[in-house]
A and B are shown apart, each in its own frame.
Chain A
């Protein structure tokens, strides 16, 4: 019988860490123990950030801090209902733990394994990009992670499409899990990684993943994230990506599920001609709160970045977009663009947006734009004058707005998955509106 104390907030997690310290994966590796201790120190110092912390100005973590979380149970449920696979290869995680029995990773031209089993060889790599001292959620992850997906693509390997499925199970007490995923693409390698996070309707949990992604010269990673967590779940995710010369990191995130969600992405373009595309859509209803926070660092010359985020808000939902572009002095010939749009479809919804440019090089072209408003009455009028009923006209415009965000995705399998997710979401809303 596993008796767990339910200390709320940061203290609860710190308490759990004290209790588990030796038994966490890699507990006997001195470098990892030091890393976890350092992260615990950082988390102790920061706790769950309040809105007084500038990076969390618009997202209040009180509901997370006040909820008590248990360890996820280790019981194996053989009759798990898995969604149909998006592609051939799939790595499945249940409550943050790798499940080889549910995964199908045979015949891949690269190594895909569990982080927990490969820790001996991860000194200097795990923790190379994450910054627990700056990001308290990364500190929490570092302190308590148990497992994650470990991907290594050799030079010029074409990894095709790999699905990362993260499932949570419904349990009596909410559980918290903190997977740590490590992805490395050697020179010239390519991969499309599609991550789906979902759970049964009634599940309550905190999913706190951290990605550390290294893209070497001329390699290309397309990273799709379909966040469809259970309606009462929390997801606080942090992605760190580092892109070398000529490499490309593309991230597309769909925020559609969860009660309180934060999607935080840090990308550093460290070699000349590196590129990054960050796109996303947030589809929010009811009491949902979704926050997309991006930090893009141009550290080398001639790099390109493009960001487009569209948010649709219904009910009493609240959307947040914070996007920072930092151009260092060395990053001459930078071309950076960022756009975020929000559509308010309910008088009780709220959108907060903070695009930010911080520029220390002079030969640059950087711009950002932001708009927040309702559907353009002129566009509705145009469609109505063509004989389309008002309801249908509005629906068409919302659909177009949603698809606009998906448009930039060139990867076919990802594009199909996103289109399906967006269309499904909108169909559910329309049903709700019609009812």
Chain B
């Protein structure tokens, strides 16, 4: 019955089949018992050999979390989460001492994901990726479920005094830096998920760029949720000293499962005088199937503090995955003349829901911020931009420009825009504009008359729609992101 098989294949290719990162790696894991209580937090802390102050810090966060309730203001719907029905610690049993000892299964996993962990390949000269394009070296910290499994190019970076390691390692090797900055941008009790993260975070990346250093390569973390019934709670801390510069990339995937898994990360950035941090994310967690079963709940707190004069923090995000995204990468613009930027593309297809945006808090004089948000809704997807621009009385001459555009594909989806503008400074200027529309018939017709299939035409138009954001991504990420946009929208037209 070849015809039947063919039909089945076709159906699969336009539904689950499109998430090619959905495989599961069979690897020996070590779990903490299920559930969440003080003993689990002590267990995590002990496992990681943490100092007493950090354990106390976690326990305080846990106390605060217990007194808090889940935020309900976002335009997302999901059944209640049972926080006791998950593992809060899952780590591969074999812990490598060096890159050579990394479990071959893990290397295979990351190779399959297109993430190179073997430095020798890089060091051998120009490496080509599977599609034949040349790639510049990128230092990678790979986080597998709860722990960091490998960090590449450490020695090269150490030459410049740059610290790039897992946060667990940073706690051991550079406790004074961690203690000084951890929670200084996102206090543990900032919100429900940041409190949960502070209590149970297991790993993440730590970056320290010394004074005046321009980081010679892109730094990257690759997050992978693999184990069942686990949550991932990573913590990233990036500190850029005066006059330094760093570009950081973050990518993420997870296996396909019917259950929903929680990912509640906290990212803190600190930029001192004239430092620049560029933070790019391509978020491709498993979005659930075409009926809305399974997928990751991506409840993330990301915030950067421009502490120094003329410092700059730029967030770029391409959000294609996750069943639910709840994420507002923000900038606190304290230093005079500091700059905050937020460039975002968020796609929701099938039953995905995204409530994402940014906060620009202008405190210092002549601070500037730019917000460009592109939301694309298809299928039954619901996509909300939610953002805050707040100008305090001292932010003399501050400036904000915001543009939010939404694109609707199909008549079952929704696109929403909820900006909050609070201006308490006469000399500040705030501008906001938002549009919502669908793909114009004449654009589609033009592409179709040039021989493009409907899907390719939509892909092309969507890429054009997102161009302002995609051009902010580091080159090779931009290529990935463009492909991802197209894949995410498969099955949404025709």
Contact = CB atoms under 8 A, between A and B. Distances in A.
Contact of B416 (A345, A351, A358): A358
Given A357-B434, A364-B436, A369-B434, A350 B423 contact: yes
Given A345-B426, A350-B424, A359-B406, A370 B419 contact: yes
B421 A362 contact: no
A369 B433 contact: yes
B93 interface: no
**Chain B interface mostly:** strand
Contacts of B429: 371-374
Given A357-B436, A359-B436, A370 B421 contact: yes
A164 to B, nearest CB: 33
A342 B427 CA distance: 12
Contacts of B406: 357, 359
Interface in A327-357: 329, 332, 342, 344-357
A373 B430 contact: yes
A351 B433 CA distance: 17
A366 B432 CA distance: 14
Contact of B414 (A346, A347, A358, A363): A358
A355 B436 CA distance: 13
Contacts of A131: none
A364 B422 CA distance: 29
A356 to B, nearest CB: 5
Contacts of A359: 406, 408, 414-416, 436
A361 B432 contact: no
Interface centre among B409, B425, B427 (most CB of A within 10 A): B425
A353 B417 CA distance: 13
A223 interface: no
A320 to B, nearest CB: 10
Given A357-B436, A364-B438, A367-B433, A374 B423 contact: no
Contact of A357 (B409, B416, B421, B423): B416
Given A350-B423, A357-B417, A363-B411, A368 B433 contact: yes
Contacts of A342: 423
Contacts of B430: 370-373
Given A371-B429, A372-B429, A374-B427, A354 B437 contact: no
Interface in B122-162: none
B491 interface: no
B411 A351 contact: no
Contacts of A373: 423, 427-431
A301 to B, nearest CB: 11
Contacts of B436: 357, 359, 364-367
Contact of A368 (B393, B425, B434): B434
A78 interface: no
Contacts of B433: 367-370
Contacts of B418: 354, 356
B423 A372 contact: yes
B372 to A, nearest CB: 15
Contacts of B416: 356-359
B446 interface: no
Contacts of A353: 420-423, 432
Contacts of A349: 424, 426
Interface in B394-423: 406, 408-423
Interface in A38-62: 54, 57-58
A282 to B, nearest CB: 14
Nearest to A334: B436
A31 interface: no
Nearest to B417: A357
Nearest to A375: B426
B90 to A, nearest CB: 38
B7 interface: no
A136 to B, nearest CB: 19
Interface in B229-279: none
B420 A329 contact: no
A360 interface: yes
Contacts of A364: 408, 436-438
B53 interface: no
A356 B417 contact: yes
Contacts of A370: 419, 421, 430-433
B374 to A, nearest CB: 14
A355 B418 CA distance: 7
A21 B208 CA distance: 70
A362 B411 CA distance: 5
Contacts of B393: 347-348
A347 B415 CA distance: 36
Contacts of A354: 418-421
A346 B424 CA distance: 10
Nearest to B429: A373
Contacts of A369: 431-434
Interface in A101-157: none
A355 B387 CA distance: 11
Nearest to B438: A362
Nearest to A330: B411
Nearest to B403: A369
Interface centre among A54, A332, A366 (most CB of B within 10 A): A366
Contacts of A329: 411-412
B5 interface: no
A362 B426 contact: no
Given A355-B432, A362-B410, A367-B434, A344 B426 contact: yes
A358 B393 CA distance: 31
A347 B408 contact: no
Contacts of B412: 329
A75 B73 CA distance: 49
B120 interface: no
Nearest to A360: B414
A295 to B, nearest CB: 13
A292 to B, nearest CB: 14
Interface string B66-106: 00000001000000000000000000000000000000000
A363 B436 CA distance: 9
Nearest to B402: A370
A368 B406 CA distance: 12
Contacts of B435: 365-367
A344 B434 contact: no
Contacts of B438: 362-364
Contacts of B420: 57, 352-354
A54 B413 contact: no
Contacts of B432: 353, 355, 368-371
A54 B73 contact: yes
A400 to B, nearest CB: 18
Contacts of A363: 411, 438
B427 A355 contact: no
Given A365-B437, A367-B435, A367-B436, A357 B415 contact: yes
Nearest to B391: A372
A109 to B, nearest CB: 42
Contacts of B422: 58, 350-353
B381 to A, nearest CB: 11
A355 to B, nearest CB: 6
A374 B434 contact: no
A292 B419 CA distance: 16
Contacts of B434: 355, 357, 367-369
Contacts of A346: 426
10 contacts: A329-B411, A347-B425, A347-B427, A349-B426, A350-B423, A354-B420, A356-B416, A358-B416, A364-B408, A370-B419
Given A352-B422, A370-B433, A373-B429, 14 more contacts: A57-B420, A352-B421, A354-B418, A355-B434, A357-B416, A357-B417, A357-B434, A359-B414, A362-B413, A365-B436, A366-B436, A367-B434, A370-B419, A373-B430
Interface of B: 73, 393, 406, 408-438
Q: Which 5 A-B pairs have the closest CB atoms?
A: A373-B429, A362-B408, A372-B423, A353-B421, A357-B417
